[in-house]
Structure 1
Amino acid sequence: MREIFAGLPWWVKWVAVPVIALVVFGGLIASVVGFVIGLLFKLLVFVALVGGLIYIVRKFTSSSSSRGDW
């Protein structure tokens, strides 16, 4: 691979090739990044909902147990 780029100017190696790679694989990269961000957001919502549920259940069970048994 080094032999291919050996005679080329620096801007071809460091500018043109990465730009071509982004154009070719840009949609794939955007899809993967979007999927990861969506997954992290759903995970955050899940953790918040479970935490809220645990908080509500503990609040009601502690208040009902302090009133005594039926």
Structure 2
Amino acid sequence: MIALAQLMVLIDATAFNMAVPFAQQDLGLPAGDMTLIFNAYLLAFGGLLLLGGHLADLLGAGPH
């Protein structure tokens, strides 16, 4: 499961990096602003990843 989660993170990061130039062009943003958007994305992704891990730990344990 950990390897599958790491694969999904890698695929997600690759897709995001491929979309950055198109988003920058469509939004008309300079390169400096894309850094802020990337950092906000990473913070949100990391927070949701931690939340998902915690919920999986709580709900996946089952009755003992």
Normalised by the length of structure 1, the TM-score is 0.48
The structure having more radius of gyration, on CA atoms, is 1
Tell which has more relative contact order, 1 or 2 (C-alpha 8 A, sep 6+): 2
Partner residue, 1:65: none
Distance 2:53 2:36 in 1: 26
Q: Runs ≥4 in structure 1, deviation > 3 angstroms?
A: none
Q: For each residue in 1:34-70, what CA deviation from the matched residue of structure 2 results, as whole angstroms up to 9, or x when unmatched?
A: 10011111111000000123x0xx2x3xxxxxxxxxx
Partner residue, 2:56: 48
Q: How many residues of Structure 1 are paired with residues of Structure 2 in the alignment?
A: 39
Q: Over the residues paired in the alignment, what is the CA RMSD in angstroms?
A: 1.9
Taking a change above 3 Å as real, the CA distance of residues 43 and 22 of structure 1, as seen in their structure-2 partners, is farther
Q: For each residue in 1:3-61, what CA deviation from the matched residue of structure 2 results, as whole angstroms up to 9, or x when unmatched?
A: xxxxxxxxxxxx5x70xx241201110000010011111111000000123x0xx2x3x
